[in-house]
Amino acid sequence: VKFGDEALLLALLNTAPTVGSEQRDELGTRAAGLAWLAEHGAVADEATLVALREVREDLWAVVRGEESGTLLGRHLDGVQAVPSAGPRGVEWRLQSPPERRAAALALLAWSDLEATSPGRVRPCGNPECTLFLIDRSKSNSARWCSMAVCGNRMKARRHQQRLRS
Ligand SMILES: [Zn+2]
């Protein structure tokens, strides 16, 4: 049974893009954070925003390899899967305190990915970029958050370096 929301996970990891030389935070202010929640189908209230900011910090650390996944346990208090019998068998529903739901969906998506394809969630290979990617390539060789942005930028830089040397 998978409860995770991959789109939400990736969007959450990528809420602090670097634009020019400045890192922005899409969850930085209350107004921006609540708007982000509404845009991503989550309950737009203060408690959910706080829970998401907290799980984001820990997911960043775990995905960057700075912390072990056990760090994420504190976001699972009160989260459980509950079975119920339906017409075609047993269905599982995720139950959680309302303010933890979005955080749990992002965390569970990371966990699902680690279980089926370990290491596929990772930071962009451009050292100046603060975004993340989910590698869905067969060869597990994707390096950039976006080929159009970071891929081309890094290619151009390598080309420049070759010309110089
Ligand atoms: Zn990037």
Closest to 92 measured CA to CA, from 79, 103, 109: 79
Q: Can you give the length of the chain in residues? A: 165
Averaged over successive runs of 10 residues, the pLDDT of the chain (165 residues) comes to 92 95 95 97 96 98 96 96 94 95 97 93 94 93 91 86 86
- 130 CA → ligand 1 middle, Å: 7
CA distances from 132 to 12, 15, 122, 123 (A): 10, 10, 6, 4
pLDDT of residue 5: 95
- 21 CA → ligand 1 middle, Å: 13
Number of neighbouring beta carbons within 10 Å of residue 12: 29
Which H/E stretch holds residue 133? strand 132-134
Contact indicator for 67, 58 with CB cutoff of 8 Å: yes
pLDDT of residue 53: 98
pLDDT of residue 9: 98
pTM of the model: 0.91
Number of neighbouring beta carbons within 10 Å of residue 29: 10
pLDDT of residue 20: 86
CA-based torsion, 72, 94, 14, 133: positive or negative? positive
- 102 CA → ligand 1 middle, Å: 25
Closest to 3 measured CA to CA, from 75, 95, 77: 95
**3 state DSSP class of 86:** strand
Ion ligand 1 residues within 5 Å by Cβ? 124, 126, 129, 131, 145, 150
pLDDT of residue 96: 96
